[in-house]
Structures are given as structure tokens and as C-alpha cells.
Amino acid sequence: LEVIASVEPRIAEATRQELADQRASLKLIASENYASPAVLMTMGTWFSDKYAEGTVGHRFYAGCQNVDTVEALAAEHARELFGAEYAYVQPHSGIDANLTAYWAILAHRVEGPWLRNAGVKNMNDLSEADWERLRGELGNQRLLGMSLDAGGHLTHGFRPNISGKMFHQQQYGTDPETGLLDYDALAAKAREFKPLIIVAGYSAYPRRVNFAKMREIADEVGATLMVDMAHFAGLVAGKVFTGDEDPVPHAHVVTSTSHKSLRGPRGGFILATEEYTPSVDRGCPMVLGGPLSHVMAAKAVAFAEARRPDFQTYAQNIADNAQALAEGFLKRGVNLVTGGTDNHIVLLDVSSLGITGRQAESALLDSGVVTNRNSVPSDPNGAWYTSGVRLGTPALTTRGLGADEFDQVAELIVNVLRSTSPGTTSAGAPSKASYVIEDGVAAKTKAAAAEL
Ligand code: PLP
């Protein structure tokens, strides 16, 4: 920090403060974690200065021999960790990974056959008229993904996102009664819509997915199954999700982040079957530019960490702690979407407490508990105010909390939420954002949270 402070002291101070804040609060954001010192240190090295567009042994710059070592090792660890045929570790983030995967699937299923049919090897040899026809074909494809309010991600075909604009899209949801994925309804939709791609995976669904069933549906309608395991990659790596719940043997293409339950650096990666390998391998120049070599190095370190036996214990603890947290809420009378959890996510429905997700999130933050508000299925408060709060156990599990502590966390949260009521706007009108917490509750909770 002294080195940073000698250039820009305010950045050094913000960095110091971030550490202090993270230490003093309970981090329950389901997509966050604490990377190891080895991972953090690997990101702060000279690889940051190196350009390396291309792939291992096939770069557009000279002097990439050490980046080649790094990228090959990261890919090897990823393949071994997940039992995948191929791994691509260049995407800078989860969104980059999804975008790269979409274009790779389009290249494999649409562009390649189209060019072969036209008898053209190189796209640059197409006439202007044929080029326009190919572009039309690429823009005329269909994607079926999980809707945002059911727990899907923006990149799964949400209209305002590029994925909702580059494809004709439809979305599947969950059963309105149970909140669970309805595979029969999904299959019926797929039969009718006939998508090129079905996307499985989620950001806020507190249950496991049967990927074998998803593959059956995809095969029936001739779709490519892409699974976005960004959230639960740690549970796959740690062998908590096996058999039908492990996406790797069932999906054609798997995308992921490396920084959530997997506990690596911020970044993305893609696993693919051999069939899709040549297309995914063209991520650069198709979608990406120069890879972040220092982050690829940190991914290699994180994958190596996740290959150790103690990572399996960590992953099982994540799931056990989520159970303890969910039970802590249920026994104190708080509603949960789907009535519980069997992954790392607990989704509170705070509507019966008379507050919005936004008010709950703010009151909890004042009390030293960091969460994020989240829509619940068919949310009457929309995506901004919401009726839900999403909690995840990976970060506090890294800090060593166990089932008893997670029960105490539930107690602290319930106490804050029951002590919070809606406030009013400055004009005295009802507000979905402002809130009032009973005197002393926030300070007392903050002290208790720091103790945990
Ligand atoms: N996919 C899923 C399922 C996610 O939950 C997220 C992140 O929230 C992403 C993709 C995007 O990841 P990133 O923020 O690294 O782009």
C-alpha cells in the first residue's frame, strides 16, 4: 500500500478501507468470495504488461512463451478439475464467456455449414450479397433461457441485454406454486419454439438442476445445451454436484466465472466437447482481444487449489451451511422461495414482513450484513425494489463459519428485518426505498456481526 500511496494516496486509502469493511461485515452476497493470497498475488505481476492475442503456440505477438506456459497450465488444470474435453481460459468475465460461447455455437452450427454449403473457405471471399445473407442467417437464430425473475441471468436472453437482441428469444420460468423448475413446461416450450440454443444455469435459483433431463430436452428439439455454471462452479469442482447434477458430462458447452463459489480471480472460462472445440478456440478474434495473462495465471493457481482434496470439504461445507441458514429462517417464520435450498443460495421472500427487498437490503447493510435485493418469481415490486433478498454461503464458509454460526446469522438477520418498517418520501408519501430501524438494533447487530 505504501507504493500505491506514493502515487495516489486516495486509492491506497480506499483499498485499506475496503479490507477493513470486508473484515467488519458479514459478506453474504452469493456471487462473492475471498480469493486466497496466492490467487491475489498472482494477479499483481508482470504478466499484466504482456499482450498475447491468439492461442497457445499461435500468437499474433512475439515473446509469448511464458504466457503460453500459463495458459496451457490453466487449461490443463480446468480440464482435469472438471473432467472436460477442452477448456478455454481467456474470457475476462462471465459475460465475456457467455458471449464467446454464443458466437462459437453460431459459428459451429450456422456459419460453418453455411460457408461449406456455399463452397467458400474464407469469409473474406464472400461477395457483398452473400455476406449480407450470412449475416441475416446468423441474426435469425433462437435462444431459450431462464427468465431473470425465475433466477436466470441477464445474458440468458433478457431483452435489454445483448443476448436478448442478437437472438429471437423466449424464456422459461418456474412453477408458480412451488417455485421449482418445471421440466415438462420447459420441454413443451422447447418443442414449440425450436431453439438453436437452450441455456441452463442461474444466478438466483436456490435448487439443483437436472442437467441430464435438460440434455434430453435439447436433443429432442435439436438444440445445443449450454450450461452457465458461473454460480455453482465451486460445487461442481468440489464434487457436491455429481451425476445428473454435474453439467460437464451433459452439456455441449459449459461457461463459468472463476470468482464466485470457485474462489478464484475475477474472470471467465469455457468448457466444451471436442465437437465445439475449434469454434470456442477462436474466441479471439471472434469476440475477445488480448487475454489478461496475469488473470489466466491466477486462474491456474485457483484451479490447482480446487483440485486439492480440502476443496471438496469446503464445497460440502458451502452446501451444509446453506441448509443451516435456510433452516434458521424457516424455524423463525421467514418465507423462502422454493421453501429451502439445496445449493449455496437462500432466497428470502420479505413481502410478509411488510417491507421491500430494497428496504431489507439497506437495513441489513446498516447492520453490518452485506446482501443484495433480488426479484422473486412474478415479483409485484419489479426488479428495482423487489420483494426478495438473496444470500449465499461461499464467502463466510471461506472465513470458517459453520452450521451453528450460520444459525446465528439467520437470527441476526431476522431480528433486523422484524425491526425494520417502511419509511416515507420527503413529501410524506409511502416509499419502497426509505425505511426505519428500531433504535439500537443496527449498532447491536453490527457489533455481533464483527464478533462472528
Ligand atoms: N452468469 C451468471 C449465471 C452470473 O450469475 C453472472 C454474474 O453475476 C455472470 C454470468 C456474469 O459474470 P461477470 O460479472 O463476471 O460478467
Ligand 1 within 6 A of CB of 95: yes
Ligand 1 within 6 A of CB of 397: no
Ligand 1 within 6 A of CB of 201: yes
Give backbone dihedrals phi and psi of 167, rounded to 5 degrees, phi first: -120, 155
Residue 153 annotated as lining a ligand binding site: yes
Place of cell 429471437: 168
Distance CA 170, CA 219 (A): 18
Residue 348 annotated as lining a ligand binding site: no
Residue type (1 letter), 280: V
Those residues with Cβ within 8 angstroms of residue 32's Cβ, 6 or more apart along the chain or in another chain? 259, 260, 392, 394, 395
pTM for the full model?
0.96
Residue 274 annotated as lining a ligand binding site: yes
Distance 222 CA to ligand 1 centre (A): 26
Could you list the pLDDT tens digit for every one of the 452 residues in the chain?
999 999 999 999 999 999 999 998 999 999 999 999 999 999 999 999 999 999 999 999 999 999 999 999 999 999 999 999 999 999 999 999 999 999 999 999 999 999 999 999 888 899 999 999 999 999 999 999 999 989 999 999 999 999 999 999 999 999 988 999 999 999 999 999 999 999 999 999 999 999 999 999 999 999 999 999 999 999 999 999 999 999 999 999 999 999 999 999 999 999 999 999 999 999 999 999 999 999 999 999 999 999 999 999 999 999 999 999 999 999 999 999 999 999 999 999 999 999 999 999 999 999 999 999 999 988 899 989 999 999 999 999 999 999 999 999 999 999 999 999 999 998 889 899 999 999 999 999 999 998 88
Largest CA distance in the chain: 75
Closest atom of ligand 1 relative to the 95 alpha carbon: 16
| Contact status, residue 304 vs residue 77, Cβ threshold 8 Å | yes
Positions marked catalytic = 51, 53, 228, 257, 260, 266
Ligand 1 within 6 A of CB of 277: no
Those residues with Cβ within 8 angstroms of residue 29's Cβ, 6 or more apart along the chain or in another chain? 370, 371, 372, 390, 392, 395
Place of cell 438444440: 223
Ligand 1 within 6 A of CB of 93: yes
Report the nearest-CA residue for atom 12 of ligand 1: 94
Distance 95 CA to ligand 1 centre (A): 6
User: So what's the ipTM on this one?
Assistant: 0.99
Ligand 1 within 6 A of CB of 228: yes
Closest atom of ligand 1 relative to the 229 alpha carbon: 3
Residue 143 annotated as lining a ligand binding site: no
Question: Do the bridges between strand 372-374 and strand 388-392 make them parallel or antiparallel, or are there none, so unpaired?
Answer: antiparallel
Closest atom of ligand 1 relative to the 267 alpha carbon: 15
